[in-house]
C-alpha cells in the first residue's frame, strides 16, 4: 500500500514538473553566475571526496564520499550505518531504483541494495560481479544492468546473470552502461561501443574505437555524448545517434556529464571545476571553447567547493548538484537574477531606460548601460550619486561634476554644481512645469530653472539644520519631499503643505516616496505608510518581518506593491492593500524575497536612492551594496512539488529507535524526541512543518522550520505521530508521514496493579472498620457492664436500706397493733395498713429482683425464657414452646439481661394482648449472630400502631426498640390483623458472645453489616 502511494505521488510530481516546465521561464538563457550557488564543505558538515550522487524516489540525496555512504535532506548530512554493523565496502557508483531503493556498486566487486534501512548484499554466490562495478542502468522494461570490469551483468530474479555470446556480447570488460530515451541499451567496453535495441536479444556493434569511456549521456536532439579518458567530450559518430561528419567537442578530462531538462549541458572536470554550455545545439564543429561565450566556467576561485569534480545530477525540482573533492555544490534557479554588471561595482544609482535597458551610475566614475544582457560603459570622470527619469523619458544624472542629461541614448552635460550649495546630489525630481528640483546632500533645496540655480529654502520654510532625503513627483505633477526628521513636504504649484506626526507620520527618516494609482506611499526608518485622504496610515506586516528601513517602493499596474527594505524585497498583493485600507487593524500578508532568492546584499540607506526601479519590459530592478538584481513579477520561478515527508528517528531518554511501523519504547520515558524531515532541496531553509501527537495534541502545532518534536512524561498507551510539510513556495504535502509507537506501562501502571491497589485499599478500610467495630463493641460492653453493675448496686442499696427499714417499721407497727384490742376500729385500720405494707414490700422485692437479673444466677437464656413462658401459660389459656437451634453459648451478662427483658416484654404482650392459642420462641445460635424470634397466632397489631411505635401512653414497643438500640441489636416486628405477630431480635456475635465463634468471612461480613444497620 505504501509503494502504491509513493507511485501515485511520483506520478503527480511528474505532471507538476511538466506543467512547471511550460509555465516557468527557462533557465537555459541564464549565465552560470546567475544561478544561486550554495556549497557545503567540511565546515558545514559535508563529507569530502564525493564520488557518486543519486536521488531516490523518497527525495533523499545520497552521496558516496570518503569510502562511506551519506544521505542529505538539504539541511543535515547523515552517515548510513548498516543495521548488521558490517561496514559497506568502498562505493564506486550509485543508482536510484525504479519504485524506490538504492543500488550500490563497489570498487572491489559486489553490489548491494538498500531499501527502508535494510541492506541486501550480492556477491559471487549470487552471481554478482567480482571486480569493480562502474555503472548501473534500468531499461524500459525494468531490467537492471551492471557494467563491471569482469563483464556485463543483468539481474534475473534474485541472481545475477553474466551476459555473453548468446546475447552477442563479446565478454569484454564493460566500462559504462546507459539507456537512452528510446529504450536502447548502450554499453561501452574497453575498446568499443555496442547497443541493444529495445526488445532485442542481440547487441549491435558500432564498430567505432573508443578509449576508456567514463560516461554516456543523451542530448535533447537525440545525440549520444561520451566522455573518454584522455580529455575528450564529444558525440559518438554513429548514424542515427550521433553524426558521421565533424562534431563539436570539449577538450576536458570529465567523469560527469548532464543534459538538463532546459537543454543546457553540464560537464564536470577532474581538476578544473565545471563547465556549462547553455545551447549545445548551436555549437559548430570543432572545439567548443573556441566559440566566444559558448562555454562557461565555474571553479574554486568562483566559490566551487573543489576543482576536482566528478558526479553531476539534476534533482526532481530542477536543482543541479555537483560532487567535488572538497564537498557538495548546488546550483538552482532563483527568482531574482543577478545583473551582469562588473564585479566590484557598488553604490548603484539606478534608472530605467527605454526598451528594458537599465542605467547605473556608480561611485567608481562609470556610467553603465545594461541591455540584452550586455554592459556598455560611459566615462563621466566623476561619481554619480543620483539618477532620475522624468515623465518625458529623459534620464537625469547627478554627478559630482554636474548635472547630466541622457536623451535617446545621447549623453550631455547640463550644468556644473554650485560649489557653495550643491556639492553632491541626494535626490532629483521634475515638476509639472518642467522645473528640475535638485536635493543636495547639504541643507539647501535648489531648482534648475531657465538655465540658472534657484534656492527653495525660503519658499519651503526650511531651517538651517533641516535636510531633505528623497524626492518624488506624483501623477498630478506635485512634488513630494521626504525629510530626515520624518516630515514630508508637498508642493502643489504655489501651495506648500507639511505632513508631520500630527497627520500620522511616524516613520523616522523618510527614505522612499512613490505615487501609485490611488495612494501616495512613504517609507522610512520605522515602516511604511500611505496617504488616505488627509492623513498617513501605517501598513503593518503580518509575518515575522517588518517593513523597516524602506529604500524603494514600486506599485505595479495590478495594484500589488513591491517594497525594498533591509529584510529584503516584499511583495504585497493588491487584495491585502484593499483589506488594509478598509480595516486599520489589518496586518497584511506578504511574500519576502531575500538572500535565499538571490538578493546579494542589503540596500544602501543613505544614497543613492531610490534602490528600486521598474523597467519598461515589466522587470523590477533592485540595487544593493553588493550588486543589482532583477525579477520578472509575471514569470517568477515557483516550486509546485509538495515535499515528501520522512520520519528519521525516535529517541527516548537518549536511546535511538528506527522509525518502524510499530515501536515499543522503554518504561515511562521522560524525554521523547522525534526527528523528521521534508525533501525539498531547493530552499530547505523555508520548508515549514506542522505536527501533532494523537492523544496529546488537540490541534496541529505549527513549528516553522524546526525538524524535531519534543514530548515529555507520556502516559502508557498507543500513540500516533503525524507530520506534514510545505515547500519553499507554501505547497503543502497534507498526507505527510506518520509513526505509531507504544509506551508500555510499568508494573505500577498496569490495570491489575491498580486493581490490587484498590483491593488493598478496600481491605485496609475493612480492617479499619473492624478495628472501629471492635472499639465500639468494647465500649458498648463496658457501658452495659457498668449499667448492670449500677443496677445491682441500686438493688443492694434498696434491699439493705429501704426494704430493711420498711420491714423494721412494719414489725414495729405490728407490735403496736397487737397491743390494741381486736374489736377496736383502730386495730382493724392498723391491720389493713399492715397488709398494704406487706404488699408494698413484696412489690419492692420484685423490683429489686428485676434489677438483679437472673442472668447472674447461673442459668442460661433458654432456661429463664422457659420459666417466664411457663409461668405465663399457667395463668393464660395459651400454649408455650421454645425451640433452640445451634449449640447454646455463654453470653455477655449485660447483653443477656437486655435480651431477656426484651423477650419477656414480647411474651407478656403475646399472652396478655394477642388473644391467641399458642406462643412460640426460637433461639438461633449462629456463628455471626444470636437470633431470637417470638411469634403468636393472635389478633395481631394494627398497622398504624406499628408505624407509631406503640399505643399512646404505652411504652412496651418503644422500650423494646430502645433496649435493642443500646446493645447494637436489630429489632423488627411483623404483624397483620388476625394473622398473629412475630418479633425478631438479632444481636451480632461480636457483642453477645463471650467467646467469638469461628466464622467464615462471609458470615463476618454479614454480621458487620447487620451491626452497622443496628447502630
Q: What HEC string does 40-98 produce?
A: ECHHHCCCCCEEEEEECCCCCEEEEECCEEEEECCCCEEECCCCCCCCCCCEEEEEECC
List the single range of 335-339, 516-520, 865-869 with lowest mean pLDDT: 865-869
**Model confidence at 1006: pLDDT above 60:** no
pLDDT tens track for 188-203 = 998 999 999 999 999 9
Determine contact, residues 722/694, Cβ cutoff 8 Å: yes
- Sequential DSSP letters for 883-929: EEES----B-HHHHHHHHHHHHHHHHHIIIII--SEEEEEEEE-SSE
> pLDDT > 90: what percent of the chain?
58
Q: Give the gyration radius of the chain's Cα atoms.
A: 55
The C-alpha cell at 627 is 550588486
Q: How far apart are CA 600 and CA 623, in angstroms?
A: 9
Question: Going by DSSP bridges, is the β-strand pair 133-138/144-148 parallel, antiparallel, or unpaired?
Answer: antiparallel
pLDDT at position 1: 35
pLDDT at position 16: 41
More confident: 850 or 73: 73
Which residue in this structure is represented by grid cell 437479673?
853
pLDDT at position 924: 93
E strand segments, 416-509: 425-430, 436-440, 446-449, 452-455, 468-473, 479-483, 488-492, 495-499
Q: How far apart are CA 583 and CA 77, in angstroms?
A: 47
pTM of the model: 0.74
**Model confidence at 1009: pLDDT above 60:** no
The C-alpha cell at 914 is 394477642
pLDDT at position 873: 84
Enumerate helices (H) and strands (E) in the chain, giving the number of each.
12, 73
pLDDT tens track for 624-650 = 999 999 999 999 989 999 999 999 999
Neighbours of 414 (CB within 10 A): 13
Q: Helix, strand or coil for residue 1000?
A: coil
Confidence bin at 146 (pLDDT 50/70/90)? very high
**Model confidence at 1000: pLDDT above 50:** no
pLDDT tens track for 528-566 = 999 998 999 999 999 889 999 999 999 999 999 999 999
pLDDT tens track for 478-515 = 999 999 999 999 999 989 999 999 999 999 999 999 99
State phi, psi for 8 to the nearest 5 degrees: -65, -45
Extract long-range pairs of 744-748: CB within 8 Å, 24+ residues apart. Answer: 744/664, 744/665, 744/666, 744/667, 744/716, 745/667, 745/716, 746/667, 746/668, 746/716
Amino acid at each position: 500500500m505504501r509503494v502504491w502511494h509513493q507511485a501515485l505521488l511520483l506520478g503527480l510530481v511528474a505532471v507538476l514538473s511538466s506543467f512547471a516546465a511550460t509555465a516557468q521561464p527557462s533557465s537555459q538563457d541564464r549565465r552560470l553566475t546567475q544561478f544561486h550557488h550554495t556549497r557545503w564543505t567540511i565546515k558545514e558538515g559535508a563529507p569530502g571526496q564525493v564520488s557518486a550522487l543519486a536521488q531516490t524516489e523518497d527525495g533523499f540525496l545520497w552521496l558516496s564520499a570518503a569510502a562511506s555512504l551519506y544521505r542529505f535532506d538539504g539541511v543535515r548530512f547523515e552517515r548510513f550505518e548498516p543495521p548488521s554493523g558490517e561496514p559497506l565496502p568502498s562505493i564506486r557508483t550509485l543508482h536510484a531504483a525504479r519504485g524506490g531503493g538504492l543500488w550500490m556498486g563497489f570498487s572491489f566487486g559486489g553490489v548491494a541494495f538498500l531499501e527502508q534501512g535494510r541492506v541486501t548484499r550480492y556477491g559471487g554466490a549470487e552471481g554478482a560481479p567480482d571486480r569493480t562495478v562502474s555503472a548501473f542502468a534500468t531499461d524500459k522494461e525494468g531490467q537492471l544492468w551492471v557494467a563491471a570490469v569482469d563483464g556485463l551483468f543483468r539481474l534475473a530474479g534474485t541472481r545475477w546473470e553474466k551476459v555473453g555470446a548468446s546475447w552477442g556480447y563479446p565478454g569484454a570488460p564493460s566500462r559504462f552502461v546507459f539507456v537512452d530515451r528510446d529504450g536502447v541499451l548502450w554499453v561501452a567496453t574497453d575498446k568499443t561501443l555496442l547497443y541493444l535495441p529495445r526488445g532485442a536479444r542481440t547487441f549491435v556493434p558500432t564498430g567505432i574505437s573508443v578509449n576508456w569511456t567514463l560516461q554516456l549521456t543523451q542530448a535533447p536532439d537525440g545525440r549520444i555524448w561520451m566522455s573518454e579518458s584522455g580529455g575528450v567530450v564529444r558525440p559518438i559518430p554513429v548514424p542515427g545517434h550521433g553524426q558521421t561528419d565533424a562534431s563539436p567537442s570539449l577538450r576536458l578530462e570529465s567523469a560527469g556529464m548532464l543534459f538538463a531538462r532546459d537543454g543546457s549541458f553540464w560537464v564536470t572536470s577532474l581538476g578544473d571545476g565545471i563547465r556549462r554550455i547553455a545551447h549545445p545545439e548551436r555549437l559548430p564543429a570543432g572545439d567548443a571553447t573556441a566559440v566566444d561565450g559558448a562555454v562557461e566556467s565555474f571553479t574554486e576561485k568562483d566559490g566551487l567547493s573543489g576543482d576536482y569534480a566528478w558526479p553531476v545530477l539534476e534533482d526532481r525540482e530542477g536543482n543541479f548538484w555537483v560532487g567535488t573533492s572538497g564537498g557538495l555544490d548546488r546550483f538552482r534557479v532563483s527568482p531574482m537574477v543577478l545583473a551582469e554588471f562588473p564585479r566590484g561595482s557598488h553604490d548603484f544609482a539606478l534608472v530605467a531606460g527605454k526598451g528594458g535597458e537599465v542605467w547605473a551610475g556608480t561611485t567608481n566614475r562609470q556610467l553603465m548601460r545594461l541591455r540584452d544582457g550586455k554592459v556598455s560603459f560611459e566615462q563621466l570622470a566623476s561619481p554619480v550619486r543620483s539618477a532620475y527619469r522624468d515623465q518625458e523619458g529623459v534620464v537625469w544624472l547627478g554627478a559630482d561634476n554636474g548635472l547630466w542629461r541622457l536623451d535617446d541614448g545621447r549623453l550631455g552635460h547640463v550644468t556644473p554644481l554650485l560649489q557653495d550649495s550643491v556639492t553632491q546630489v541626494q535626490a532629483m525630481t521634475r515638476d509639472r512645469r518642467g522645473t528640475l528640483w535638485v536635493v543636495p546632500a547639504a541643507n539647501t533645496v535648489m531648482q534648475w530653472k531657465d538655465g540658472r540655480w534657484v534656492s527653495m529654502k525660503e519658499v519651503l520654510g526650511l531651517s538651517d539644520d533641516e535636510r531633505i532625503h528623497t524626492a518624488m513627483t506624483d501623477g498630478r505633477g506635485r512634488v513630494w519631499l521626504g525629510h530626515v526628521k520624518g516630515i514630508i513636504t508637498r508642493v502643489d504649484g504655489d501651495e506648500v503643505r507639511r505632513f508631520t506626526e500630527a497627520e500620522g507620520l511616524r516613520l523616522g527618516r523618510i527614505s522612499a516616496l512613490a505615487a501609485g494609482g490611488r495612494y501616495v506611499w512613504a517609507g522610512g526608518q520605522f515602516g511604511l505608510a500611505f496617504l488616505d485622504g488627509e492623513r498617513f496610515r501605517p501598513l503593518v506586516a503580518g509575518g515575522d518581518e517588518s517593513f523597516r528601513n524602506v529604500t524603494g517602493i514600486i506599485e505595479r499596474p495590478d495594484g500589488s506593491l513591491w517594497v525594498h527594505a533591509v529584510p529584503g524585497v516584499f511583495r504585497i498583493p493588491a487584495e491585502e492593500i484593499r483589506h488594509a485600507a478598509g480595516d486599520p487593524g489589518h496586518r497584511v500578508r506578504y511574500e519576502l524575497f531575500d538572500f535565499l532568492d538571490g538578493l546579494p546584499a542589503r540596500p544602501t540607506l543613505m544614497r543613492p536612492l531610490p534602490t528600486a526601479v521598474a523597467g519598461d519590459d515589466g522587470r523590477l530592478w533592485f540595487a544593493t551594496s553588493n550588486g543589482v538584481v532583477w525579477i520578472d513579477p509575471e514569470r517568477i520561478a515557483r516550486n509546485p512539488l509538495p515535499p515528501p515527508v520522512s520520519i528519521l528517528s525516535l529517541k527516548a531518554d537518549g536511546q535511538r529507535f528506527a522509525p518502524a511501523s510499530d515501536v515499543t519504547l522503554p518504561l515511562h520515558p521522560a524525554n521523547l524526541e522525534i526527528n523528521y524531515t521534508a525533501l525539498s532541496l531547493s530552499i530547505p531553509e523555508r520548508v515549514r512543518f506542522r505536527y501533532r501527537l494523537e492523544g496529546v495534541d488537540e490541534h496541529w502545532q505549527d513549528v516553522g522550520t524546526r525538524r524535531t518534536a519534543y514530548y515529555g512524561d507520556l502516559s502508557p498507551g498507543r500513540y500516533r505521530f503525524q507530520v506534514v510539510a510545505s515547500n519553499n513556495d507554501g505547497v503543502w504535502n497534507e498526507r505527510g508521514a506518520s509513526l505509531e509507537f507504544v509506551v508500555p506501562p510499568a508494573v505500577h501502571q498496569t490495570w491489575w496493579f491498580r486493581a490490587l491497589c484498590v483491593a488493598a485499599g478496600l481491605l485496609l478500610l475493612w480492617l479499619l472498620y473492624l478495628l472501629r467495630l471492635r472499639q465500639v463493641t468494647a465500649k458498648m460492653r463496658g457501658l452495659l457492664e457498668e449499667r448492670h453493675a449500677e443496677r445491682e448496686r441500686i438493688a443492694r442499696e434498696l434491699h439493705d436500706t429501704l426494704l430493711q427499714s420498711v420491714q423494721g417499721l412494719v414489725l414495729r407497727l405490728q407490735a403496736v397493733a397487737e397491743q390494741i384490742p381486736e374489736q377496736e376500729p383502730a386495730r382493724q385500720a392498723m391491720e389493713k395498713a399492715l397488709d398494704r405494707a406487706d404488699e408494698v414490700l413484696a412489690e419492692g422485692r420484685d423490683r429489686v429482683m428485676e434489677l438483679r437479673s437472673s442472668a447472674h444466677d447461673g442459668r442460661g437464656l433458654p432456661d429463664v425464657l422457659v420459666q417466664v413462658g411457663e409461668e405465663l401459660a399457667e395463668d393464660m389459656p395459651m400454649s408455650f414452646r421454645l425451640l433452640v437451634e445451634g449449640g447454646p453459648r455463654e453470653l455477655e451478662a449485660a447483653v443477656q439481661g437486655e435480651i431477656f427483658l426484651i423477650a419477656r416484654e414480647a411474651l407478656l404482650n403475646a399472652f396478655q394482648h394477642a388473644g391467641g392459642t399458642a406462643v412460640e420462641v426460637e433461639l438461633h445460635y449462629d456463628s455471626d449472630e444470636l437470633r431470637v424470634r417470638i411469634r403468636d397466632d393472635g389478633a395481631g397489631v394494627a398497622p398504624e400502631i406499628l408505624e407509631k411505635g406503640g399505643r399512646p401512653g404505652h411504652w412496651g414497643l418503644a422500650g423494646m426498640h430502645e433496649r435493642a438500640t443500646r446493645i447494637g441489636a436489630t429489632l423488627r416486628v411483623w404483624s397483620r390483623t388476625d394473622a398473629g405477630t412475630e418479633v425478631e431480635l438479632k444481636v451480632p456475635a461480636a457483642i453477645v458472645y463471650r467467646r467469638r465463634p469461628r466464622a467464615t468471612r462471609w458470615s463476618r461480613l454479614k454480621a458487620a453489616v447487620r451491626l452497622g444497620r443496628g447502630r
